[in-house]
Amino acid sequence: MSLRKILLAATILATPGMAMAQDAWYSPTTWIPNPAAEPVQGLYLGAGAGWNHSDSRGLTARGGNDAYFNGTSGNNQGNLGFEEGFMGALALGWGFGNGLRTEIEGSYRYNNVDRLGGFQNRAGGPPGVAFRGIDGDMQQYGVFANLYYDFQLPRWFPNMPVAVVPYIGGGVGYMWTDLEASGTRLTPGGNSVRIDDTVGQFAYQGMAGLAFPISAVPGLSVTAEYRYTGTLQSKFDGTVTNPAGGVVSRGSYEVDQAHNHSAMLGVRYAFNQPAPPVPAPVAPAPAAAPAPARTYLVFFDFDRA
């Protein structure tokens, strides 16, 4: 038998199995109405919490602080660094039944300040020094209008072993940042940089996640999400003080754009979702047919002696 005939025979034998395997995952002709496979329609409530990372942010002294640093180190540029923190969000939204959702969200983020640096000397200026006694925190309060799209994989592939709905989204809003940061220059009798102010600024975000519908509770899903949230540059009031607490200079510090990266776990509950379909009753097994009647003939031999 030639190799061509062997390959042809193998292809013919494998084709039915491949078709059956494909039908097991993608069978649009057998779509079954199922709350876990249907897009969110109507009012829903969502909540989540998790880890928040905030990138380091550059500082630029302005006003009297600018004059102080230019007169000492010759450099008005510094930076702030933050420890890993946490965040939480609560949202009220509406699903349109076609994969699109829109919502209003409130969020909160917290990170401790763990680094204050910069303001070092430039060529021709006096030596720059590092900082000690660094303290403070950054709290961010946001309000956003978000738009999402849910990819209805359970609807497209109804025989998936685990129902999962990927989604992406974006939002715009406003974020208030409460920033407290301080540090003292390492030189003997060194002065301290202090920032303590709350400033609001335009904010934006992008999200991507997975929702896992809970079939036992129609409308309930567990979510896992990554989101990026940023703000525009902000200006915070601040001072430079001496060891006795006296104000050496007063002005502001321009702080670079915020870049937050968050990972959240959460839940979402859609109200007024349809109940799971009632299983069709099992038809009783047909009764066994009665055995056919039989006729017997009995002969009596009366003439026999």
Distance CA 123, CA 119 (A): 13
Contact 101, 44 (CB under 8 A): yes
Q: Contact at 8 Å (CB) between 89 and 273?
A: no
Mean of per-residue pLDDT scores for the chain: 84
What the chain holds in terms of domains, given with CATH numbers, is 31-270 (2.40.160.20)
Q: Are residues 220 and 201 in contact, defined by beta-carbon separation less than 8 angstroms?
A: no
- Residue length of the chain: 305
State residue 26's pLDDT score. 43
Cα–Cα distance for residue pair 253/236, rounded to 1 Å:
5
- Of 236, 266, 242, nearest to 72 (Cα)? 242
Rounded to 5°, the CA angle 130-238-85 comes to 70
Average the pLDDT over 66-90 and give the result: 92
Q: Is 82 exposed, middle or buried (0-12, 13-18, 19+ CB in 10 A)?
A: buried
The percent of residues above 70 in pLDDT, for the chain, comes to 76
| 35 has pLDDT over 90 | no
- What pLDDT shows up at residue 29? 38
pLDDT at 218 over 70: yes
- Top pLDDT among 304 and 130 is at 130
pLDDT of 213 higher than 90? yes
Q: What is the pLDDT of residue 185?
A: 87
The per-residue pLDDT for 276 is 59
pLDDT of 125 > 60? The answer is no
pTM of the model: 0.77
Mean pLDDT of 188-208: 95
Instruction: Write out the two tokens for 58.
Output: 């550059």
pLDDT tens readout for residues 166-188: 999 999 999 999 999 999 988 77
> What secondary structure does DSSP assign to 127-140, as a single string?
PP--EEEEEEEEEE
3-state secondary structure of 28: helix
